[in-house]
Structure formats: C-alpha cells, structure tokens
C-alpha cells in the first residue's frame, strides 16, 4: 500500500486548497482498507476531495484516500461499486450497458462513497433512488456489516454515514433497462445544464456551498441577496450561480470561509434564513478559521 508522509493534499482537492497532511494512505482493495481501518484509530476517509475544504494549515493526522478502490461490476440490472469509483465513470459505463438511474452523476466529480455520504442528487434523481444495500465498516464494533437502503436513513443531502460510525466499503444498486440513446440524451442535457450554470473545475471549486433550505433554493436566496458582487483578491462568488465560490488561483481556506460567512450573513440579514454549509471543512483550523466555521455551523 502506498503511504505518504507530510503529504501536500492541495493537488488532490477540487478547490486546490489544503496544507500538509501528516500521513496519507492509499489502500488498493477492500481487505487492505478494512485491515487499515482496524489498525489505526484517528483518521479521516476521503474520496475525490470534491465536496471538502481542507485547512491551508494542514492536518496533523491520518487521511485515507479511496481513489484506488475503484472496482465495479455489472450483473444484469445490478451494479456493485467500490467506494472510490468516480460517479461520471460509472454513469458512462451504465449507459453503455443500457442501464438508467445514474444519468445525474455524469457531471459530478465525486466518488460513490462521497455521493452516498451526501445522498447526492440532481435533475430529479439521487443516489439513494437506485441503492439496494451498502457494505460498511462499523468503527465501534470494528467489523464489516451490511445495511439496506431503508437502514441508511437517507434524506436531503443526508445519510447514516454522516453519524460517523460507519464507512462505506462498497454498494449495490438496481438500475433499469432503457434505450441507450435516451440515456445518453439525458446525460447530455445534464452536462449542458451544468456547463451553463456551474463552474467547471478549470475554476477550482467544491460544488454547491450551501444546502437548499426546505422548499427554497440557496442559489436564489444568495442571488437576491446580491452576493455575486463578493470578490476577494484570491476567491470570488461565481458570476453565473451565486451558490459557488471559485479559487482565483492562490486562495486559502480562510479566504473561502470569509466569503462563506459574508454570503451567510447577507441571506440572514435579508431573509432571516440561516443557510447550512454543504461543504465539509476539515483539518487543523486556525483560531480565525474556528471563529468563521462556528458562525456557519450555528
């Protein structure tokens, strides 16, 4: 297994932000992953680092990256996928098999593990729609367990994994047969929508900054609150969609958090609605970062 010390995580994140991590592990199969989880105590598991902001201060601990856990298999309508498989790849492979249900993932940079953790969704589809069961590592019992879709406590941008007791190893899905041209047409529409509304990773970003409040859109509220004008020297709110922050080149995690608080305050002042971050912030926070994050996690 590849193990890196004092590892510069920045290049692995879609934000292109993050300091040095004490130790980073790259397990290559499930048994290696489970053995590692049994052996070390304090760790953070990350997939494609697409929905996270890692402190520029770094992290004096262990991070396990699942990027090499990328096995998947089709058996009829069923799909089995390891936690590190990238969503767009699985979306394309399903389309080639004439299987529908993963079209929404074509524009997501995240891994299957991250998608299930967040119950990712778009365009009326979400990862929980097709999920049958998850193979998980139980941190308390230090053993491998299985949970059905019903036991995964799925909600809007929520799953059982957020309780931090379980880690996804692999998942089983049940898709539907559909004409390949219809699947590809839907994927093309999803990509076109994403291209018009959301920044590409040529502009480093971590996707939507805030979750949608119930029966409303965070992007709409932010837009009406005038946050598209928010522009710092190294980071700014995206011109085409107010719920995205882009790294202009050399932004720090503090820059991103500063903008997030400005956006949060603007909506709170105008609508008395307190938005909740969709982005996860991890690492060794500075005193200033701690203050900013505490405002956002009211």
194 annotated active-site:
no
CATH of segment(s) 2-65: 3.30.43.10
Q: What is the assigned CATH class of domain 218-296?
A: alpha beta
pLDDT at 81: 98
- Averaged pLDDT, 154-173: 96
pLDDT grade for 122, boundaries at 50, 70 and 90: confident
User: What is the location of CATH 3.30.465.10 in the chain?
Assistant: 72-195
Q: Distance (Å, rounded) from C-alpha 63 to C-alpha 81? A: 21
290 annotated active-site:
no
- Averaged pLDDT, 119-123: 85
User: What is the location of CATH 3.30.43.10 in the chain?
Assistant: 2-65
Tokens 């700014």, residue located: 236
Digit-coded pLDDT (tens) for 209-228: 999 999 999 999 999 999 99
Looking at the DSSP bridge assignments, the partners of residue 231 are: 236
Among the listed residues 56, 100, 159, 208, the single catalytic one is 208
pLDDT at 197: 82
Strands 20-26 and 2-8: antiparallel
pLDDT grade for 125, boundaries at 50, 70 and 90: confident
CATH architecture of 72-195: 2-Layer Sandwich (3.30)
pLDDT at 107: 84
Tell me the average pLDDT of the chain.
95
Among the listed residues 4, 32, 274, 278, the single catalytic one is 278
Q: Distance (Å, rounded) from C-alpha 134 to C-alpha 291? A: 36
208 annotated active-site:
yes
Q: Is the pLDDT of residue 171 over 90?
A: yes
Among the listed residues 82, 157, 254, 289, the single catalytic one is 157
* Measured distance between the N- and C-terminal CA atoms of the chain, rounded to whole angstroms: 40
Looking at the DSSP bridge assignments, the partners of residue 73 are: 80
- Residues of the chain with pLDDT > 90, as a percent, come to 89
Q: Distance (Å, rounded) from C-alpha 52 to C-alpha 111? A: 12
User: What is the location of CATH 3.90.78.10 in the chain?
Assistant: 218-296
């Amino acid at each position: 297994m590849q193990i890196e010390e004092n590892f510069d995580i920045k290049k692995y994140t879609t934000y292109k932000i993050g300091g040095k991590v004490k130790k980073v592990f790259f397990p290559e199969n499930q048994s290696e992953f489970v053995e590692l989880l049994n052996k070390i105590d304090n760790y953070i598991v990350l997939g494609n680092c697409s929905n996270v902001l890692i402190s520029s201060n770094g992290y004096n601990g262990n991070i396990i990256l699942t990027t090499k856990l990328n096995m998947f298999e089709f058996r009829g309508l069923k799909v089995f996928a390891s936690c590190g498989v990238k969503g767009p790849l699985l979306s394309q492979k399903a389309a080639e098999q004439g299987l529908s249900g993963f079209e929404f993932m074509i524009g997501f940079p995240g891994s299957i593990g991250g998608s299930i953790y967040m119950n990712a969704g778009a365009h009326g589809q979400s990862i929980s729609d097709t999920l049958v069961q998850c193979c998980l590592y139980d941190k308390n019992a230090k053993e491998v367990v299985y949970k059905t879709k019903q036991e995964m406590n799925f909600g809007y941008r929520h799953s059982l994994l957020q309780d931090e007791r379980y880690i996804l190893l692999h998942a089983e899905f049940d898709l539907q047969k559909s004409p390949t041209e219809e699947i590809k047409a839907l994927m093309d529409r999803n990509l076109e929508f994403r291209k018009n509304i959301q920044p590409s990773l040529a502009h480093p970003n971590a996707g939507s900054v805030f979750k949608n409040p119930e029966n409303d859109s965070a992007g709409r509220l932010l837009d009406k609150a005038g946050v598209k004008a928010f522009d710092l020297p190294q980071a700014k709110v995206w011109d085409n969609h107010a719920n995205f922050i882009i790294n202009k080149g050399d932004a720090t995690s503090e820059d991103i958090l500063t903008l997030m608080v400005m956006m949060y305050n603007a909506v709170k002042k105008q609508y008395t609605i307190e938005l909740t971050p969709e982005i996860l912030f991890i690492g060794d926070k500075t005193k200033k970062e701690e203050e900013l994050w505490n405002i956002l996690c009211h």
